[in-house]
Amino acid sequence: MSSVKIFSGSAHPELANAIANNYGKPLGQSEKQTFSDGEMGVYFTESVRGSDVFIIQPTVPPADNVWELLLMIDAARRASAKYVTVVVPYFGYARQDRKDKPRVSIAAKLAANVITSAGADRIMTCDLHAGQIQGFFDIPVDHLDGSAIFYPYLKSLKLDNMIIASPDVGGTARARAYAKLFEVDMVICDKHRKRANEIASMQVIGDVEGKDVVLVDDMVDTAGTISKASTLLKEKGANSVRAIATHGVLSGNAYKNIEESALEELIITDTIPQKQESSKIKVLTVADLFAKAIRKIHDHESISSLFIK
């Protein structure tokens, strides 16, 4: 069987190193060079001929991270790697997955196209903004589920009056899955936006009186939605409100919004490197989950055992 070699881009080397350590081998050696005009180049400083290459790079802004990933894929392919798998813990541009108004691009599909065209044989990611994005790829997609990370933590809290909440109608299916997992009820926070990242109004559908509410989402960007939802849920009589979200984008006034919100805590994972710390933010690692998935893929085993049933 071919050997496994794990490499990291520059977007999140800490996570890549943790994944490699959990897998049981050091990161492979590669170099990134930048010319004076900003042009980028990457190359591997060790042989990858005949190897199963795994390249770890969340596609967080800036766009240079996407371009670096593409260059690494191309370099591995041209260096005669047997198989190239891109490990994208956070798949950026996933929110642009459809034409919701005239004359807009579908960036998620474009990103899928360029990753495939660069020479990737497979992609591994976690909690896509919309599950159907898997169909944008013409290569196999291993779509890991963040519930494997959050379930043990939430169980450890021993919330007797837990109820699951979706911060918007679009996240109902995700929230329902958690409600079924814990065998509890769910409510929905119905919001109306004026424009992106700006909420005009919100209302709660369901009863949260005396409940310990857990808001479930795939990502938190400016934290405006969960902050407003936490305040509204407390006003409706909730005993406590906390939120879980796989991807902590946390841009703009996110940290300030979280600190000033009614949230007990926001639980995220380390798919995205954090800009600062907060007493209300708890970060759980996905390193072991991805390391196990890499091992199973290399051994041609099913990854279904990694999902919470």
The string of DSSP letters for 272-287 reads S--SS--TTEEEE--H
Annotated binding site for ATP: 37-39, 95-96
Binding site feature residues for Mg(2+): 129, 168
Q: Among 3.40.50.2020, 3.40.50.12780, 3.40.50.2300, 1.20.1250.20, name the CATH number for the domain at 4-145+287-306.
A: 3.40.50.2020
Q: What is the pTM of this model?
A: 0.93
Architecture category of domain 147-284 in CATH: 3-Layer(aba) Sandwich (3.40)
Name the residues annotated as catalytic: 191
Over residues 163-191, the mean pLDDT reads 92
Q: Work out the angle at residue 301's Cα, subtended by the Cα atoms of residues 109 and 176, and round it to the nearest 5 degrees.
A: 55
- Cα–Cα dist 52/25, whole Å: 14
- Helix-, strand-, coil-residue percentages of the chain, each rounded to 5: 35, 30, 40
3-state secondary structure of 258: helix
Ramachandran assignment for 49, one of left (phi > 0), alpha (psi -120 to 50 degrees), beta (any other): beta
236 — phi, psi (to 5°)?
-85, 5
**Domain boundaries defined on the chain:** 4-145+287-306, 147-284
Using the predicted structure, report yes or no on whether residue 157 has a pLDDT greater than 70: yes
The pLDDT of residue 200 is: 57
Report pLDDT for 6: 98
pLDDT value at position 100?
Answer: 86
> CATH topology of 4-145+287-306 equal to that of 147-284?
yes
Q: Give the pLDDT band of residue 196 (cuts 50, 70, 90).
A: low
Which of 82-91 are b and which e, b meaning 16 or more Cβ less than 10 Å from the residue's Cβ? Answer: ebbbbbbbbb
Considering the chain, what is the average pLDDT of its residues? 94
Binding-site sequence positions: 37-39, 95-96, 129, 168, 193, 217, 221-225
